Amino acid sequence: MSEHRTTVAGVAVDTRHWIGGQRVASPRTFTDASPIDGAPVGEISRGTATEARAAVAAAKAVFPGWAATPRAERARLLHAVADGVEKRTEELANVETVDNGALLRSHRRGVMPRVAHNFRFFADWLLTLEHEDFATRGHTNHVTWDPAGPCVLITPWNAPLMLATWKVAPALAAGNTVVLKPAEWSPLTASLLADIAAEAGLPAGVLNVVQGYGSEVGDALTSHPDVRRISFTGSVPTAQHIAASAAANLTPLSLELGGKSPLLVFADADLDLAVDLAVEQYDNAGQVCLAATRLLVEEAVAEEFTRRFVAKASRLRQGDPREESTDIGPTIHPRQVAKIDGFVRRALAAGARAVIGGHPGEGQYYAPTLLTDVRQDSEIVQEEVFGPVLTLQTFTSEDEAVHLANDTRFGLAATLATGDPERAERVTARLVAGTVWVNCFFVRDLKAPFGGSRHSGIGREGGTWSFDFYCDLKNTVTAPKGWKDHG
Q: Is residue 484 part of a domain?
A: no
Which structural domain, as residue segments, surrounds residue 270?
262-438
Q: Is residue 14 part of a domain?
A: yes
| CA–CA distance, 187 with 210 (Å, rounded to integer) | 10
HEC sequence for the chain: CECCEEEECCEEEECCEEECCEEECCCCEEEEECCCCCCEEEEEECCCHHHHHHHHHHHHHHHHHHHHCCHHHHHHHHHHHHHHHHHCHHHHHHHHHHHHCCCHHHHHHHHHHHHHHHHHHHHHHHHHCCCCCEEECCEEEEEEEEECCCEEEECCCCCHHHHHHHHHHHHHHCCCCEEEECCCCCCHHHHHHHHHHHHCCCCCCCEEECCCCHHHHHHHHHCCCCCCEEEEECCHHHHHHHHHHHHCCCCCEEEECCCCCEEEECCCCCHHHHHHHHHHHHHHHHCCCCCCCEEEEEHHHHHHHHHHHHHHHCCCCECCCCCCCCCECCCCCHHHHHHHHHHHHHHHHCCCEEEECCCECCCCCECCEEEECCCCCCHHHHCCCCCCEEEEEEECCHHHHHHHHHCCCCCCEEEEECCCHHHHHHHHHHCCCCEEEECCCCCCCCCCCECCCHHHEECCECHHHHHHHHEEEEEEEECCCCCCCCC
| Judgement on whether residues 130 and 211 belong to the same structural domain of the protein | yes
| Judgement on whether residues 307 and 352 belong to the same structural domain of the protein | yes
| Judgement on whether residues 51 and 178 belong to the same structural domain of the protein | yes
Number of domains in the chain: 2
| Judgement on whether residues 188 and 117 belong to the same structural domain of the protein | yes
Which pLDDT belongs to residue 1?
47
| Judgement on whether residues 337 and 418 belong to the same structural domain of the protein | yes
Total number of residues shown for the chain:
487
List the catalytic residues.
Answer: 256, 289
Which portions of the chain are predicted below pLDDT 50?
1
| Judgement on whether residues 291 and 312 belong to the same structural domain of the protein | yes
| Judgement on whether residues 372 and 430 belong to the same structural domain of the protein | yes
Which pLDDT belongs to residue 3?
82
Q: Is residue 295 part of a domain?
A: yes
Residue type at 214 in one-letter notation: G
| Judgement on whether residues 280 and 200 belong to the same structural domain of the protein | no
Residue type at 146 in one-letter notation: D
Which pLDDT belongs to residue 281?
97
CATH of the domain at 149: 3.40.605.10
Q: Is residue 86 part of a domain?
A: yes
Q: Is residue 449 part of a domain?
A: no
| Judgement on whether residues 250 and 301 belong to the same structural domain of the protein | no
| Judgement on whether residues 94 and 227 belong to the same structural domain of the protein | yes
The percentage of residues in the chain with a pLDDT greater than 90, rounded to a whole number, is 98
| Judgement on whether residues 387 and 401 belong to the same structural domain of the protein | yes
pTM for the model stands at 0.96
Contact criterion met (CB below 8 Å) for 116 and 78: no
| CA–CA distance, 369 with 363 (Å, rounded to integer) | 17
Q: Is residue 427 part of a domain?
A: yes
Strand 471-478 with 369-372, pairing: unpaired
Q: Is residue 486 part of a domain?
A: no
Q: Is residue 143 part of a domain?
A: yes
Contact criterion met (CB below 8 Å) for 332 and 100: yes
| Judgement on whether residues 247 and 271 belong to the same structural domain of the protein | no
CATH of the domain at 302: 3.40.309.10
